[in-house]
Each structure stands twice: as structure tokens, then as C-alpha cells.
Amino acid sequence: MEDTRLPIVDLHCDLTGYLAWIPGSTPMDVDIIGCAIPHLQAGRVRLQTMAFFTPTEPGSAAFTLKQAQLFRENLLQNQDVFTLVRPRELAAQVLHADRVALVAAIENASGLCEEDEPLGLAFTRLEQIIQLAGPLLYISFTHVDENRFSGGNFTPGIGLKSDGEELLRYLSGKRIAVDLAHTSDAAAYDLLNFIDKHGLDIPIIASHSNFWVVHNEARNLPPELVQEVVRRQGLIGINFLKKFVHPTRPEVLLEHIRHGFEHAPQALCFGTDFFQESGIMEGGESYFHPQHRNAAQYQTILETLKEQFSAEQLSALSYGNAVHFMERLWGEG
């Protein structure tokens, strides 16, 4: 019987970081990470971005390389479940295939080059990672702290740095988006201004970011940055982490989606940010509301949204906007 549920494209999860960090971990660990294989299958995920996350600390570059190797040697070897994204067959993979297409991304450019290393290593390692993992969807310059490239979420007022400028120059024309999800606002504006000033060819996304006007959290996007992403035909991935949805009101996720349909309808997609939580935070509380805790919940969420939004809107959210962006990103040449 044909599955009539909408396919899902998701811009951000940390499964490779979990596998690299935790001895004995597997992609079947349903009680520990929300993007385990059974969850992805239950939610009808058809394209999942695997973000290679690393903190800014000694060993970051080796940790990113380890994740790229796991991506190739662990996940892609599971051919009954996963396949590598094929840019020229992207729509067919999402709409008609039975397996989950995987695409890699880099969350924190410290994973390319540590704080005391020559900058040229970043470019060499980037090409090495592409050789291992295939096309990259995006690169985040930072995680929460500042690094040699720019300021992060926890360092407001610290903008783009000279090494960040050089990384932008290198990325121009490479068909890899730059992700604003973890930049400081100052760094985001500096980055956008630098791209415009120098005429660089770099798409912009916010892979796992909600809306500041819906929930006032510093990690969520302010209206000005929302409009910049929209103007540049980028993507904004709705984050399921309760801190960025609302700490006590899970229904606010629908308000973020509603706001996105009103102010960024062609940019809106999913970027759930499922990561290892060992089940609970301090005090026995999950990082995610129960209604949003794993990828199996996508279809329930979409069913709830049917009461408020059209079939065309829900298709755009679930896969359409993301597929169109990737087709523009990779489609020529």
C-alpha cells in the first residue's frame, strides 16, 4: 500500500557526533537520540542532514574527520536504510525512494582548523571531508562560543574576524551555504555585509533556528535576520529543542511555524536539532517536549497543522522549500 504521508527533509541533527563521542553507541539507540534509525523511518524522513559538530577545543579537527569517516563507513554502509544524496536526482530521492538520503554539513569551523594552526589547513581539510562525505550542504562558522572565525551565540557583540573573512572568500562559488544558526547577531551582520561588499557567491541559511518574536531567546532569529535570509532565498529550519520553542508550552512550536508562514513562507522547513541527551537533563527533564522528542513525531505535527494550513503550505514546510533550495545550490554545471 502506497505511503501517502508527506516526506520529510531535515536540516540538522547530531547523530555522527553522538556516534563519535559515545563508545558503543549505534544509530539504533532510540532512547538516547531522536534521530535514531527507527525514528527516522517512523517519521518518513527522506533526506537528513548530518551535521559534523565539534566544540572549539584541542582535537576539534580530528573529531570532525572522525565523524566524516563514520558518515562514510558506518551510516552509508547501512544500504538498507541510508544512501548518499544525489544532487541531480534530489527530488526523486525525496519523493519516491524508500531510503533516507544523507547529506553532510559542518557545525563549527573549528572542526576544520584549530585556534593555533595555519589557516590553510582549514581549506585542505574541507576538501578532504568532501572527498569522504560527498557534497556539503552548509558550514557554521562557530558553535556557541567565539573562535578564530567569528563570534558565537554566547559572545554577543563579537563579529566576523579576519580568518572568517578568508574562509568566506574561499567558499565563494563552492556551492556550500553558510549557516547563521550559531553566529552572534554582530557576526551575522558582518558576514552578510562582507558577502555583499565583495560580491561573493555564498547562499545563506539558518539551519536550526526559531523566531525571536515568538519566543524571546537569544538563539532565535531577530526579524531583521529573518528578512535577510528570505531576501537571499535561504532556509530557516524550525528547531524542536524546548529552550528555543518555549520552556513550558509545547504548542508554541505551532506559533513558530505560523510566524514562518507569514514572514518567510519560501524559507520555512525543519531543522530539529536532535542530539544525544542520554534521555534527560539535570532533574530528570528531557531537552525536548514529549510531543517533539524524536523524528517519529513529524507526521503527528503535520496532521495537527492540517487544521490551519493548506496542503501546499505543508508540502513546502515538509520538503518542498528545502528541495528547491538544494536544487538551486547544486543544480547548475
Q: How many helices (H) and strands (E) does the chain have?
A: 13, 9
What is the H or E stretch that residue 326 is in? helix 321-330
Is the confidence at residue 275, as pLDDT, over 70?
yes
Torsion angle defined by CA atoms of residues 276, 278, 282 and 285, in that order, rounded to the nearest 10 degrees: 90
Contact 116, 57 (CB under 8 A): no
Question: Cα–Cα distance between 79 and 271 in angstroms, integer?
Answer: 24
The grid cell for 59 is 582535537
Domain ranges of the chain: 8-330
**Which DSSP category does 10 fall into?**
E
Question: Cα–Cα distance between 214 and 228 in angstroms, integer?
Answer: 18
Q: Which architecture does CATH list for 8-330?
A: Alpha-Beta Barrel (3.20)
Mean pLDDT of the residues in the chain = 96
Residues with Cβ within 8 Å of 294's Cβ and at least 6 positions away in sequence, in order, are: 30, 34, 35, 36, 39, 43, 274, 288
Is the confidence at residue 281, as pLDDT, over 70?
no
The grid cell for 93 is 530521492
Residues with Cβ within 8 Å of 40's Cβ and at least 6 positions away in sequence, in order, are: 48, 81, 100, 295
Q: What pLDDT digit, counting tens, does each position of 104-131 carry?
A: 999 999 999 999 999 999 999 999 999 9
In 3D, which of 108, 214, 30 has the Cα closest to residue 238?
A: 214
Is the confidence at residue 282, as pLDDT, over 90?
no
User: In 3-state terms, the chain is what percent helix, strand and coil (to 5)?
Assistant: 40, 15, 45
**pLDDT tier, 285 (very low <50, low <70, confident <90, very high otherwise):** confident
The residue type found at 14 is: D
Higher pLDDT: 283 or 90? It is 90
Is the confidence at residue 137, as pLDDT, over 60?
yes
In sequence order, what are the beta bridge partners of 8?
45
Is the confidence at residue 279, as pLDDT, over 70?
no
Question: For the chain, what percent of residues have pLDDT higher than 90?
Answer: 94
Is the confidence at residue 333, as pLDDT, over 60?
no
Rounded average pLDDT over 322-326? 98
pLDDT score, position 265:
98
Q: What pLDDT digit, counting tens, does each position of 52-92 carry?
A: 999 999 999 999 999 999 999 999 999 999 999 999 999 99
**pLDDT tier, 5 (very low <50, low <70, confident <90, very high otherwise):** very high
Q: What pLDDT digit, counting tens, does each position of 153-177 carry?
A: 999 999 999 999 999 999 999 999 9
